[in-house]
Amino acid sequence: MKHQEYEYVIVGSGVAGSTIAERLLQHNRATSILILEAGPEVKAKDRRFWWDYVVNASGDNSKAYDFTCDQPGEAKVSGNQTFEVAGSRVMLYGGSTVHWGGWCLRYKPEDFKLHYNTGLGGDWPFDYEDLFPYYEMAEHHLQVCGDVGESWNQEMRPGVPYPRPPYWWTEADGEMIQAWEKNGIEPGKMPVARYRKCMTTGTCKYCPIGARFSSQLILDELRSDERNINLEIVSSTPVTQILVDSKSRITGVEYLDSTTGDARHVYGRTVIVCSGAYESPKLLMLSKSNYWKNGIGNDHDLVGRFLVSHSILKVQGILDHNRENWFQEYDFPTLMSRTYDTPQYQKSNKIFLFKNRALPNIDFAQLMIQGKSRGEIDAIRKASRVQELQSFMEETGEFNNRVMLARGKNRFGLPKMEIRFDRSKDAQKNAENWLTIMSKVVDDMGYRITKRVVDPPGGHHATGTCRMGATEKDGVTDKDMRVHGTDNLYVCSNAAFPSGAAVNPTLTLTAMAYRLADHLIKKA
């Protein structure tokens, strides 16, 4: 490390960490910031890299994913419901935005008052209006495209346009739109973080030109800006403990030296944990001392609890022809709806509807690799068509759904974890009711239903494990995401969310990062 002490030590280099660092440096370029990332660095915008990825799914990118995603067996799962962990996140330079889909939706006003409205889950210590200006900042930061004409947007963002115009629906969306309208479902255009001009290569998990937002791009710009003289970003450096010298004062962190494996210390006036809903509680639990017997912020056994995610509901159907020669043009969805994402449905686990981003699918490259002739490919293309309607179902935070430390170490030298997750009987019943509604849509499209499932919840949108609360008996963090009982420790990650809503959390996390950065600037 360049220095012994920094003004800010940020643990994690994903969208929260990079956004906070950028905001602080915009205020004062001399601010000393150390960002520590447990995972390695994968080069962005590399054409050779992309060719390997497209042609044979090889190259350093896929190896890095194999290395950094949770692998089968790494996490112990218990409870009445499988919880999907493997492949749900990436730990590397830039965090999970390196492989995300870019979906960027605001939480709705009722999402901040889940317990007040339903008696379930938790409430945020502020409301939608408090986060409104930060949502606008986040959308410009991520360069989100969307349609302000939709009914839900007219309610949520009156007079506020999206930074970029939306992607229009594809030809293959048309038959689902007709079925939606027949069933009273308003079609909408998926808000997506585009960042720069998209060339629609169809390989959004690795963009060869950097058109899809990734925190890598922000970090690269910050690191190359000569004005940021006191910024340091270090990869392959897992943080293993938060250091204290009193009950309230955090002094820095302990990390593993990537070259020797030795434990070392670095000091910071403020420590910000931006490590997601798994690693954030794990780090707090690991940080035991004479002042915090059960880990920092855990005097009331709340760290790691109230784990929330999304269950994915799927109804798939097949048509015995594809005369129109339709296939999915992009690697992201263009059709979605928030018709059932309203206060009316909040108590019955409301859902966010969208068309499967990958269907109808014809992998022309793979057919060519297999040596298929043009005639054979044409016959395959026209033989049948598969479509699928999907939704995220909101899960409410239960006290016993939690992340815990487990024995053994993962490939980063950090403790493995155990996840306990039970789905309530009411939630299971509600999921079946939603599947019935979704099945009617697919049936009205003229498709024969071949699959109707409730996939298990998973780590892709995990929230709640260090949730905000008014007091230390209600939550781990306060309204500013400061850990209760400390003066200078913050958790800026999905872990701090008291509820998970029915939509993706990344835009809300980015807004929260801006909010925290402004709080820190005022505090300084």
Q: Positive or negative CA dihedral for 99, 105, 107, 110? A: negative
If one counts the domains in the chain, the total is 1
Full domain range(s) for residue 503? 1-43+82-140+213-309+462-524
Within-domain flag for 279: yes
Q: pLDDT grade, residue 159 (50/70/90)?
A: confident
User: What residue has token string 């306060």?
Assistant: 478
Cβ-Cβ contacts under 8 Å for 201 (sequence gap 6 or more): 50, 207, 208, 209
Bridge partners of 384?
A: none
In this structure, of 4-8, 116-120, 454-458, 480-484, the range with the lowest mean pLDDT score is 454-458
User: What residue has token string 């870019």?
Assistant: 102
pLDDT tens digits for range 65-108: 444 555 666 778 888 888 887 767 778 888 888 878 889 999 99
Beta strands 33-36 and 231-234 are parallel
Within-domain flag for 516: yes
Within-domain flag for 168: no
User: What residue has token string 């710009």?
Assistant: 221
Stretch (H or E) spanning 115: helix 114-118
Within-domain flag for 405: no
Within-domain flag for 474: yes
pLDDT tens digits for range 413-438: 888 889 999 988 999 999 999 999 99
Question: pLDDT value at position 21?
Answer: 98
Within-domain flag for 320: no
Residue 190 or 101, more confident = 190
- The C-alpha atoms of residue 193 and residue 511 are separated, in whole angstroms, by 14
| CATH code (residue 290) | 3.50.50.60
- The C-alpha atoms of residue 175 and residue 170 are separated, in whole angstroms, by 10
Within-domain flag for 24: yes
Q: pLDDT grade, residue 61 (50/70/90)?
A: very low
Stretch (H or E) spanning 174: helix 174-182
Within-domain flag for 443: no
Could you tell me the pTM of the whole model?
A: 0.93
- The C-alpha atoms of residue 169 and residue 174 are separated, in whole angstroms, by 8
Asked if residue 493 lies in contact with residue 280, where contact means CB atoms within 8 angstroms, the answer is yes
CA distances from 153 to 77, 107, 157 (A): 38, 11, 5
Q: Using alpha carbons only, give the angle 502, 504, 509 rounded to the nearest 5 degrees.
A: 120
Instruction: Find out whether the peptide bond into 360 is cis, omega within 30 degrees of 0.
Output: yes
Question: pLDDT value at position 504?
Answer: 94
Asked if residue 478 lies in contact with residue 469, where contact means CB atoms within 8 angstroms, the answer is yes
- The C-alpha atoms of residue 301 and residue 396 are separated, in whole angstroms, by 19
